[in-house]
Amino acid sequence: MYLIVGLGNPDSKYAGNRHNVGFQIVDALANAFGANAFGAAPWRSKFSGACAEIFVETKTGRTKVLLLKPATYYNESGRSVRAALDFHKIEIDKVCVIHDELALEPGKFRTKFGGGSAGNNGIKSISAHLGPNFWRVRIGIGHPGSKDKVTPYVLHDFPKNDQAWVRDLSEAIVGALPLFLDSEMDAFQTKVTHLAPAPNPKGNK
């Protein structure tokens, strides 16, 4: 069993924010796999968050995945993740956290296992509760240019010209998810970037 966590803030006013791209992608996974999942549960309140179970067909068989959107707010996500992990007795190396990444250009996609938080408070919180050895799916949102602009930038909705790549990237992650669940991480990275290449930076200005 895998645990896939999307980072974001729970109130509806944050739904379209850059900081909520993790929630948006986890929602796409729930929509794509939930309709065909045998015994899949709807979103429900649990583990101080919203969770849903999906089943994904891979080359090695049907794999159960718990999707989680912490409701503890972004910077305290670790409490929710730890609760889900302990209840289901999921191994830490089968945890994947999807989050926005200031250090990557908008639409850039990278997978990473372990390491530091790079200043991301959600990752910092999860690492404090789990240790660092979990998977991260990093979604580039770009940097506003100065540190004092970061908070309003991440808490602002994606502009219209970014919404297309968010949609395309979400669909690409849906399509490549079986590779991730079969531990074909290089193939997962390659397929996603092939299906949804990052837009030309000039087009995001």
Active site residues: 19
Residue 156's φ and ψ, nearest 5 degrees, are -110, 145
The span from the CA of 122 to the CA of 21, in Å, is 13
The span from the CA of 113 to the CA of 71, in Å, is 24
The span from the CA of 148 to the CA of 137, in Å, is 25
Among 15, 55, 59, 20, smallest CA distance to 37 is for: 55
The span from the CA of 129 to the CA of 48, in Å, is 15
The span from the CA of 173 to the CA of 175, in Å, is 5
The span from the CA of 20 to the CA of 17, in Å, is 5
Kindly report the length of the chain: 205
Number of Cβ within 10 Å of residue 168's Cβ equals 15
Q: How is residue 125 written in tokens?
A: 């919180």
The two beta strands, 2-6 and 95-101, are: parallel
